[in-house]
C-alpha cells in the first residue's frame, strides 16, 4: 500500500489476556520500528527490524513483549498477559535502506491499546 498500515486501530482487552498488533510497512522498506506512545511520555522505542532479523530489541519492557517479522514485510507485536500499564498507542514505522541516504521514517496511525 501507499503507507504504513496498522491493525487493529483500537483494541480493548481484559487484564491477563494476550494481544497481537499488526504492522504492514511500505513495500520495499527494509527497516521497521515499533514505538510506544504513552500520555506525557513521548515515544518509547521497543524494537527494530532490518529485514526479518531484530538487531535491537533493547526497548522491549519485559519478556511479556515479543515481535516477529516475516518475509521482510509484515510484523506482529505480541503482548502476553496484558497489564494495565501496557495501555498506550503502539506505533509502527518503516524506512527504506540506508544506502539511499537518510530516509525519513514513515509512521502508521497506530493501535490504541486499552487494558481494563
Options 7, 13, 22, 50; binder of other proteins; rule CB under 8 A:
50
Identify which range of 13-21, 69-77, 78-86, 97-105 contacts other proteins by CB under 8 A. Answer: 97-105
Identify which range of 11-19, 49-57, 62-70, 72-80 contacts other proteins by CB under 8 A. Answer: 49-57
Q: Which of 22, 28, 30 is nearest to 5 (CA)?
A: 22
DSSP 8-state assignment for residue 35: E
* 97 part of the interface to other proteins, by CB under 8 A: no
Sign of torsion over alpha carbons 87, 90, 64, 77: positive
**What is the rounded distance in angstroms from the CA atom of residue 8 to the CA atom of residue 59?**
22
* 98 part of the interface to other proteins, by CB under 8 A: yes
**What is the rounded distance in angstroms from the CA atom of residue 76 to the CA atom of residue 79?**
10
Residues that bind other proteins (CB under 8 A): 4, 6, 31, 33, 35, 40-43, 45, 48, 50, 55-56, 91, 93, 98, 101-102, 104-110
Amino acid at each position: 500500500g501507499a503507507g504504513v498500515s496498522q491493525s487493529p486501530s483500537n483494541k480493548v482487552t481484559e487484564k491477563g489476556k494476550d494481544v497481537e498488533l499488526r504492522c504492514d510497512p511500505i513495500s520495499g522498506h527494509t527497516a521497521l520500528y515499533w514505538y510506544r506512545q504513552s500520555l506525557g511520555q513521548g515515544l518509547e522505542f521497543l524494537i527494530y527490524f532490518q529485514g526479518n532479523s531484530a538487531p535491537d530489541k533493547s526497548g522491549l519492557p519485559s519478556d511479556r513483549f515479543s515481535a516477529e517479522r516475516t518475509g521482510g514485510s509484515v510484523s506482529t507485536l505480541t503482548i502476553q498477559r496484558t497489564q494495565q500499564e501496557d495501555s498506550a498507542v503502539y506505533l509502527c514505522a518503516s524506512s527504506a535502506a540506508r544506502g539511499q541516504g537518510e530516509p525519513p521514517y514513515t509512521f502508521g496511525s497506530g493501535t490504541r491499546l486499552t487494558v481494563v
